Amino acid sequence: MAEHPAFDRLRARLFDVVDLHGVSYLLKWDQATYMPPGGAVARARQTALLKTLAHERFVDAEVGRLLEAAEREVEGLPADAFEAAYVRVARRDFERAVATPAAFTRRFFAHTAATYQAWTEARPADDWGRMVPLLEETLELSHALSGYEGPGAAHPADPLIARSDFGMTVATLQPLFATLREALVPLVRAASAVPPPDDAFLRHPSSVAAQVAWARARVAAFGYDLERGRVDPTAHPFAIEFSVDDVRITIRSRADDLRETLFTTFHESGHGMYHQGLDPRFEGTPLADGASAGVHESQSRLWENVVGRSLGFWRGAYPSLRTAFSEALDDVPVDAFVNAINAVRPSPIRTAADELTYNLHVIVRFELELALLEGRLAVRDLAEAWRAAYAEVLGLEVPNDRDGVLQDVHWFSREIGGAFQGYTIGNVLSVQFYEAACRAHPDIPTEIEAGRYATLYRWTREHVHRHGRTYDPVDLIERAAGGPLDVGPYLRYLKAKFAPDA
């Protein structure tokens, strides 16, 4: 193998940057799980210090020089060779990190921190008016950020979308989302006209410890490695990695709702398996992450929904669940259970949405973000536009701003633009990937019914996980799914599941 002295020096340097981020994630994990409330002030200071150290080490002029030299060393290597992919991804991250002036970055972080703090009080108080001037400034800063990171972009949202879903643009996403919206609205109308199934048994109180034990064993069977992971309780579930060999998930439980533990654990285990499945060589490199927010979400939705809410899966898994929760489930046959966990009920809250209505919540936000960034909608009219969109798209009266425009943290803690599309891209991809896996291994559905998940897991590891960021998301999707992002398979899946007679 050729000598790559500059590449080796670059790699040693960026290992520290990745490790500094890993340590800051450990602080975040602790804060969201076991830290006593008294730790908050010091923890905010410590986290900010680590982020600053990581940023300063990364944007250093020496990194720029090493990158240039490393680029010459890897010239001629295939684009997906480790060294070539490493240098390409590091260059992209570096350019983005140095694009914004330090003074702007400081102003942006100070503003979003103040906005988040105000939101934590304004939401419970249902006080939209307080957030208007803050969000007006966020919108202005978002435009500036877009200009720094993507000068000359076709749409101001494009550079912001590229931050989490590189390669996706308004021009590619808007038509896909329009198709989805047009098909979903009548499906939701039809499904919500039917009286909801009886699901009182799901709210029969049961031991949270027993719920977690059951879900933990099941995601271990999916492929989530508990020797390199853990499951802990939190308020807002997430998956987080400190290294390739320590990838933890956090979940939310309710004694009086079995669904919380089951589906937050399934969901987060999908994210966790993605990181655990990275090529071990990627440890400490910029390649050690998911290809994009959308591809990451495809892995969580695969296990949560495509597998975890299917009749086939529960034919295999239900007997064990029924034994563990016999008081609630003794008289409930498997199809009644599966109907109950798939009930369609339009609700104002995105995170409480069923599989069918979920994407309409995302599409509403995506369209409002574009209207704001294009100047077609003023921030002061946003709450009203939100209510109008929910009436039109979900046929719902939004009861207040707390459960309307104020419900999601995204716009109140970061830039406006690019925050939501990944959720729907993930749903669409979850079905494309599942179908590709089943084309390669037609026995997968039968195996899942028998409680065996290894073939599906191995397919995702081979075609998605192990590559990390080696391929751009668009290329990874093409290689793994056998075609570009396409809403067709997802719509067929939803129709077969929710409107089989239509």
Q: Which residues bind Zn ion (CB under 5 A)?
A: 297, 300
Residue 265 CB, nearest approach to Zn ion (Å): 12
Residue 28 CB, nearest approach to Zn ion (Å): 16
- Asked whether 142 and 129 are in contact (CB, 8 A), the reply is no
- CB-based closest residue to Zn ion: 300
Considering the complex, state which of residue 211 and residue 264 has its C-beta at the smaller distance from Zn ion.
264
Considering the complex, state which of residue 274 and residue 314 has its C-beta at the smaller distance from Zn ion.
274
Please report, in angstroms and rounded to a whole number, the separation of the first and last CA atoms in the chain.
60
Residue 426 CB, nearest approach to Zn ion (Å): 7
Residue 473 CB, nearest approach to Zn ion (Å): 16
Considering the complex, state which of residue 164 and residue 253 has its C-beta at the smaller distance from Zn ion.
164
Q: What is the 3-state secondary structure (H, E, C) of 62-105?
A: HHHHHHHHHHHHHCCCCCCCHHHHHHHHHHHHHHHHHHCCHHHH
Rounded (5°) CA angle 150-151-154: 80
Considering the complex, state which of residue 346 and residue 422 has its C-beta at the smaller distance from Zn ion.
422
Residue 304 CB, nearest approach to Zn ion (Å): 8
Considering the complex, state which of residue 115 and residue 250 has its C-beta at the smaller distance from Zn ion.
250
- Give, for 250, the enclosing helix (H) or strand (E): strand 246-251
CA–CA distance, 76 with 222 (Å, rounded to integer): 40
CA dihedral 233, 236, 240, 246 (to 10 degrees): 0
Structure tokens at 168: 């996706």
Ordered DSSP codes for 392-453: HHH------STTTTTS-SGGGTS-SSSSSHHHHHHHHHHHHHHHHHHHH-TTHHHHHHTT--
Active-site annotation holds for 297: no
Question: How many Cβ atoms are within 10 Å of 272's Cβ, its own excluded?
Answer: 32
Considering the complex, state which of residue 192 and residue 264 has its C-beta at the smaller distance from Zn ion.
264
Residue 58 CB, nearest approach to Zn ion (Å): 26
Residue 423 CB, nearest approach to Zn ion (Å): 7
Question: Which among 83, 149, 241, 268 is annotated as catalytic?
Answer: 268
Question: How many Cβ atoms are within 10 Å of 125's Cβ, its own excluded?
Answer: 11
CA dihedral 279, 285, 289, 293 (to 10 degrees): -150
Considering the complex, state which of residue 146 and residue 460 has its C-beta at the smaller distance from Zn ion.
460
Strand order in the sheet with 246-251: 231-233, 246-251, 239-243
Catalytic residues, which ones? 268
